[in-house]
A and B are shown apart, each in its own frame.
Chain A
Amino acid sequence: EAQVTQNPRYLITVTGKKLTVTCSQNMNHEYMSWYRQDPGLGLRQIYYSMNVEVTDKGDVPEGYKVSRKEKRNFPLILESPSPNQTSLYFCASSSMSGPYEQYFGPGTRLTVT
């Protein structure tokens, strides 16, 4: 089954404690992306990657890091989480050559206290 998986699905943590949210896709997609969704602000792109070792900032990259060492995985790293990073996070992937439908993971609800 074609899918994007994210782990963990729910996480409560404290300010400053480094964490990683994993994302994996099994569709051999070149393009992967991280979004955060907050009430009233919609989906905002954090980082994206067009292929292995190719990553770039989205609209709200501050406080986040990513890596793309393998095509299927695109982890999101919060080196020093802060309460304003409390949000619902989605990973997504798509083909670069069309169709451009983005497949989303189930989401990770992060709370930073």
Chain B
Amino acid sequence: RKEVEQDPGPFNVPEGATVAFNCTYSNSASQSFFWYRQDCRKEPKLLMSVYSSGNEDGRFTAQLNRASQYISLLIRDSKLSDSATYLCVVREIKAAGNKLTFGGGTRVLVKP
């Protein structure tokens, strides 16, 4: 089983609709969680950190479910510019320091 797993998609979303997708992680001791956005062939950029109580940033809402070991991202009122690949990132503390593990990404295509 992969350490961090995502549905690769693509999720085809009509403009203005809501889309949500999850990311599961295998290490229950994982410390921090993040969502990154990556546009085609460009570098990943931080979208938002995921806090235990859940958090919202504009149209984006992230949730953490430690019991079931997954995080989720919900995008409301989808825009064409939301089309991208969303990467889930999990931080663990190892003896050698922090280790960040990336999921394979979920591709979202917002269509008019």
Contacts and interface: CB of A to CB of B under 8 A. Distances in A.
Given A43-B102, A101-B34, A102-B46, A107 B41 contact: yes
- Grouping DSSP codes into helix (H, G, I), strand (E, B) and loop, the A interface class, with mixed when no group exceeds half, is strand
Nearest to A30: B97
Interface residues of A, number: 23
Nearest to A88: B41
Given A43-B87, A43-B102, A99-B49, A90 B44 contact: yes
A50 B41 contact: no
Interface of A: 31, 33, 35, 40-45, 50, 56, 88, 90, 96, 99-102, 104-107, 109
Interface of B: 8, 32, 34, 41-46, 49, 87, 89, 91, 96-98, 100, 102-105
30 contacts: A31-B97, A31-B98, A40-B8, A40-B104, A42-B87, A42-B102, A42-B103, A42-B104, A43-B44, A43-B87, A43-B102, A45-B100, A50-B97, A56-B96, A90-B43, A96-B97, A96-B98, A99-B49, A100-B34, A100-B98, A101-B46, A102-B44, A102-B46, A102-B89, A102-B100, A104-B44, A104-B45, A106-B42, A107-B43, A109-B41
